[in-house]
Structure 1
Amino acid sequence: MVVLRWGKYMNVRGPGLRLVVPFMDQAVKVDIREQVDRVPTQKYITADNVVVDMDFVIYYKVLQGDDEVRRAVMDIENYRMATINLSFATLRAVIGSTSLTEALSERERIRDQLQVRMDEVTGRWGIKVSQVEINEIDPPPGVKAAMEREKSAAAIKTAEITESEGSRQAAINRAEGEKQSAILTAEGSREAEILNAEGDQQAAILRADGFSTALDRINAVAQSADARTMSLQYFDTLRQMGNSPATKFIFPMEFTSMLESFIGSTTRRPNDQ
């Protein structure tokens, strides 16, 4: 309670039962609790010349202390009305330097600027603005419709981009799958050709080994054959040649010599050595 005597400041008295002199003293009660006031909706112009309707709530209180209580009574006629009117002017200055897009997306920044600017002024009245909360920012209907169209177009664009990204990724996945399939097919064909080549090589080696073994056996038999045996083989060959339709035959010189020895052996007397 601030006590004035004949309109002059006397002192500040705390809560409780206090006695004042009638007609001489005037007692002004001061509520030091935190107070809240909702600022009515007003029109504000943004930096891009868009008129918006805004309303907000301010929380403030008279600071505890004799000097702060005295200033709240003696330095300002009505601190409550002064604080509300100050919020109007301060918010107009803040919104005037902010675009509509920033005002809609950066409420916290606007709130903090409003609180700081108001607190700088109300501090000299012994008032502390503790908090400011913006309830609503309402642009004109035409602007809202344009924003809705822009939002819808952005959503469609995002959906198309997402769809195209999905199609691109699907095409990449298909190409990767086809690539892996082609690689596996080529590797399978290469391994099959290698196996076939190795099989042919082994078969050729086995055939060559068989042929070499047969030649070795023939050579071994030929080494043990005498002249008469070879002559009999030549006679068998002549018999087969006689069965053919050919009319001319060519005999090697070795055949004549072998024939002579064969004839000589057959005409030799039994007691000849």
Structure 2
Amino acid sequence: MISVFPWFWAVILLLVLALLSSSFRIFREYERGVIFNLGRFWKVKGPGLVLIIPGIQQVVRVDLRTVVLEVPSQDVISRDNVSVKVNAVVYLRVIDAEKAVIEVVDYLDATSQLAQTMLRSVLGKHQLDEMLAERETLNLDIQQALDAQTGSWGIKVSNVEIKQVDLTESMIRAIARQAEAERERRAKVIHAEGELQASEKLFQAAKVLAQEPQAILLRYLETLTVIGADKNTTVVFPLPMDLVAPLLKRIAPSND
């Protein structure tokens, strides 16, 4: 009987040490502990060393760092009835550890499912051109819609980024044809504007030349000089009668 007591006290000592070791929790700077007293919420503690009562208090560890959540590719139908596949990433973090534990079972999974729904809902209100050209605006719209829903869970959605918008082959060809038509339209408009400016300048030049008829003759002579410099064998250059007539009048009296 005497030999049993040392073993008994050794077991008791081990149980006490195990109980004491399980009573301490160490939380890092980015961690918080949500403590429950017999199943009822008590308080949030941390960071640092936290003492709990084993068997009476339970602790749920919550990470406060920003989490990058990837949203799987979603089939989205735009407002102009174009089917595309869109994927995105969501940046979120816990700002209220109590709500993140009590209000939702798994806040990461819940936010992921909500992000998929919001992605289809928000992008479906916009046309394809807006999805391709106005991503910053769409990112902000999705982020605000998500943040409004996750606030009650103690989750802050800080940013949403649309990663890629995948189009079908037929839609890619249609966009290419549209871009080509747009380039041709711009080229024609630029050409027409150039013709208009040239005609305006010619009109102004004609008004200046009309004020002095001799200037027209000088212009014709200059043109002849330019043509003669090209080493052409035959040059046909018509002269208007209003330029030739003054010369004929001067020549006529001398023949008499």
Partner residue, 1:26? 58
Which amino acid is the alignment partner of residue 80 of structure 2?
D
* Distance in 2 of aligned mates of 1:137 and 1:125: 30
More strand by share: 2
Residue 82 of structure 1: CA displacement? 1.1
2:157 maps to what in 1? 129
Which is further off, 17-26 or 172-181? Answer: 17-26
Identity of aligned residues (%): 36
The whole-number CA distance in structure 2 between the counterparts of 1:96 and 1:181 is 64
Between the aligned partners of 1:58 and 1:18, the Cα distance in structure 2 is 32
Q: Find runs of 4+ consecutive structure 1 residues off by over 4 angstroms.
A: none
Contact 2:72 2:116 in 1 (8 A): no
Please point out which of 86, 90, 109 is paired with 1:58: 90
**2:44 paired residue among 12, 21, 42:** 12
Aligned partner of residue 38 in structure 1, secondary structure? strand
* Greater Rg over alpha carbons, structure: 1
Q: Is the 8 A contact 2:94 2:154 kept in 1?
A: yes
Q: In the alignment, which residue of structure 2 is the partner of 1:104?
A: 132
Return the TM-score normalized by structure 2: 0.65
- Contact 2:37–2:58 (8 Å) recurs in 1: yes
Query: What secondary structure is seen at the aligned counterpart in 2 of 1:52?
Result: strand
Q: Which string of whole-angstrom CA distances, capped at 9 and with x for unpartnered residues, describes residues 130-160 of structure 1?
A: 2212222222221111011001111011011
Task: Name the residue aligned to 1:69.
Answer: 97
Out of 107, 122, 128, the residue aligned to residue 79 of structure 1 is 107
How far apart are 1:177 and its partner, in Å? 1.4
Give unpaired runs (5+ residues) of structure 2.
1-32, 217-256
**Counterpart secondary structure, 2:182:** helix
Q: SS of 2:126's equivalent?
A: coil
> Partner letter of residue 15 of structure 1?
P
Question: Whose helix fraction is larger, Structure 1's or Structure 2's?
Answer: 1
Structure 2 CA distance for partners of 1:165 and 1:133, relative to 1, 3 Å:
same
- The number of equivalent residue pairs is 185
SS at match of 1:98: coil
Partner of 1:182: 210
After TM superposition, give the deviation of residue 6 of structure 1 in Å.
4.4
Deviations 1:68-119 (A, max 9, x none): 2111011111111111111111111112222223322332332222112111
Distance in 1 (CA, whole Å) between partners of 2:82 and 2:215 is 70
Structure 1: which 5+ residue stretches go unaligned? 189-273
Q: 2-side partners of 1:34 and 1:52: how far apart?
A: 29
